[in-house]
Structures are given as C-alpha cells and as structure tokens.
Amino acid sequence: MKKQCLGRGLSALIESSTSVATSEEKAADSSLPHHKEDYRWIATHQIVANPYQPRKQFDSASLQELANSIRQEGLIQPIVVRPKGAGFELIAGERRLRAFEILGEKEILAHVIEAADKKSATIALVENLQREDLNPLDEALSLSSLLHDFDLTQEEVAKHVGKARSTITNALRLLTLPTEIQKLIRQQKLTTGHAKAILSLAEPDLQSRVATRIAQRGLSVRETETIVKRLLSPSKKSASSPKQREAMRSLEKKIADAIQTAVKIHKNLDQGTIAIQYKNSTELQRVLEKLLR
C-alpha cells in the first residue's frame, strides 16, 4: 500500500485546536508535549474510539469501497488523534481506520494533536458534517452533546460548527419526534423536510400516523405539507372535495339503512369514528342485534 498524505481537510480547525487546547491543557499539565505538525504511523490497536463520534452507523458496503480505494490510491488524508494514556484516542477518521482494519493493515498515518474534550468533539462533528451521508439524527445528537455536555448555548454551538443558529435549532427539534419517526429518518424513508412539516403537528400520535402514511406512500415534502395544513384547519370546507363529501354521505346512508338508525362518520386522515344514534335502550338493543348477528 502507498504510504502517502495528500491534502489537509480540517487543517484550519485542527491548527486552532492545537493552540487552544495547548493553553487549556497547560493549566492541567505544563509538561504535556506539543504536536503542531506531528504526523506518525501508529499501530491501529493503540487507537481507541472517540466517545463523541457523531456517526452511529457504518455501512459495510461503503467501508469496503473505501478500503478498495485506499488499497489502490493510498491514504489521501491522515486520521486525527490525540494522546490518551499509553495510546491515542481517535478524533476524526473512524471510517478510514475501519477501512485499514478491513485491509489487515497494522499501522495508519495519523496527525497527532492536543485537544481538550470540547475541541475533540467539535472536530469530530465538523469532519462528519462535511460528508453528505451523515444521518440528520446523528448530526442532531452530536449537536445536543456539544450543547449539554459542555454547557454551551445554541449560539456558541453554531459558531463552533460554522452553521446558522436557526439550523442548529431545527436540527435539535428532530430529537423531539417520536421514536418511530426517528427510525424512519434513520432508514431514509423520511427527510428533514418531511420532519419539519410533521413537527407542526402538536400530538405525537398524530405525528406518527402522518409519518407512517408518508413513508408507506412515498409522498413528497410538498404533499406532506399539504396534509399537515389540512389537519391544522379541519373546519375548512376545502379540507375535502365535494366528491369525497358525497361519497361519505352515501356511505353513512348505506350503514344507516342496514341498521335502521342515523349514522355519522367522522374522518381524520386514514382513521376516524362512526357514531350511531339511538333514542332509548330498546332501540340500542335492536341496533346491537343487527350488528352482532
């Protein structure tokens, strides 16, 4: 395999982390060595995982493709690590490290820097944000970690990762969705556009029913917005077409004729209720006999 290093990727942030982290670490240990441009080949078994790794799922096919690319072209960009105990802790580049392990390589080129926990988490997140395939929920969880683990404001998180505060706010809102909707997002059956529309609905149960319908039917974001808008204004006559209302009245009449009493159907999305009227216990008994026979 070619042992080479091309390009620097997160160099600006990494260089910043070196100077910032150095001052932070000096307070704890003035004897800690500095590694501003420290590139080394490190044994893979000496590297432990980053607890702030944003990416929670790794696609095996994608990792194999990366491994094949590294076999042919060599390592384009080194991983980034920081000293940890007798070894090192990964900051950025877990996919590259896993690809090396697939290839059976025992060593990998690493850029060794000094970084406190907050900077390590930030670098890991920014590196993954630069890759389009980072799941929106993984991004949201990492932003939440920066927010709560390091007692930052949304404004401070936005500055750290180079995004607008509104983007941070919208990402974090994904974590308020029911678990089943988050699962659909992870499975790429729903996009953040779908999720943003669904979040306009207040009830978690309704959110889940709408999300399931969207995923099953493969509806677009625009179609989702139309459904949500209709649900938020159910009293408007435009919520259903004249043809739909006529079909509902016809169904009500058919049921009423069968059980010989007034019936009203209340529809909400794909679900609803059927209200059966009765005047006294005798009529109720008669209706029940017709329904149960």
% residues pLDDT > 70 (the chain): 83
User: What is the Cα–Cα distance from 122 to 53, expressed in whole angstroms?
Assistant: 10
**Mean pLDDT in residue range 87-105:** 93
- Return the pLDDT at 8: 36
Answer with the residue of higher pLDDT: 30 or 218: 218
- Return the pLDDT at 284: 84
Banded model confidence at residue 5, pLDDT cuts 50, 70, 90: very low
Residue type, 152: L
**Mean pLDDT in residue range 30-40:** 56
Specify the CATH number of the domain 11-133. 3.90.1530.30
- Return the pLDDT at 246: 84
User: What is the Cα–Cα distance from 13 to 198, expressed in whole angstroms?
Assistant: 36
Q: Quick one: how far is CA 23 from the chain centroid?
A: 34
Answer with the residue of higher pLDDT: 154 or 272: 154
Answer with the residue of higher pLDDT: 51 or 223: 223
- Return the pLDDT at 159: 87
Banded model confidence at residue 18, pLDDT cuts 50, 70, 90: very low
Condensed to tens digits (0 to 9), the pLDDT of residues 232-285 reads: 886 544 456 778 878 888 888 888 888 888 888 877 666 778 888 877 888 888
Banded model confidence at residue 132, pLDDT cuts 50, 70, 90: low
Q: Is the pLDDT of residue 133 over 80?
A: no
* Tokens standing for residue 125: 């997140």
User: What is the Cα–Cα distance from 51 to 49, expressed in whole angstroms?
Assistant: 6
Condensed to tens digits (0 to 9), the pLDDT of residues 163-210 reads: 899 999 999 999 999 999 999 999 999 999 999 999 999 899 999 999
- Return the pLDDT at 36: 52
- Return the pLDDT at 240: 62
**Mean pLDDT in residue range 14-26:** 43
User: What is the Cα–Cα distance from 131 to 119, expressed in whole angstroms?
Assistant: 19
Whether 94 is a known active-site residue: answer yes
- Return the pLDDT at 235: 53
Banded model confidence at residue 220, pLDDT cuts 50, 70, 90: very high
Condensed to tens digits (0 to 9), the pLDDT of residues 71-82 reads: 988 988 899 999
User: What is the Cα–Cα distance from 24 to 234, expressed in whole angstroms?
Assistant: 57
Question: What is the end-to-end Cα distance of the chain in Å, rounded?
Answer: 78
pTM: 0.57
User: CA-based Rg of the chain, rounded to a whole angstrom?
Assistant: 29
Q: Is the pLDDT of residue 19 over 80?
A: no
Q: Is the pLDDT of residue 213 over 60?
A: yes
- Return the pLDDT at 6: 32
User: What is the Cα–Cα distance from 291 to 205, expressed in whole angstroms?
Assistant: 30
So where are the chain's domains?
A: 11-133, 177-232, 242-292
Going 113 to 118 to 119 to 121, the CA torsion angle's sign is positive
Query: Which one of the listed residues 15, 24, 25, 94 is annotated catalytic?
Result: 94
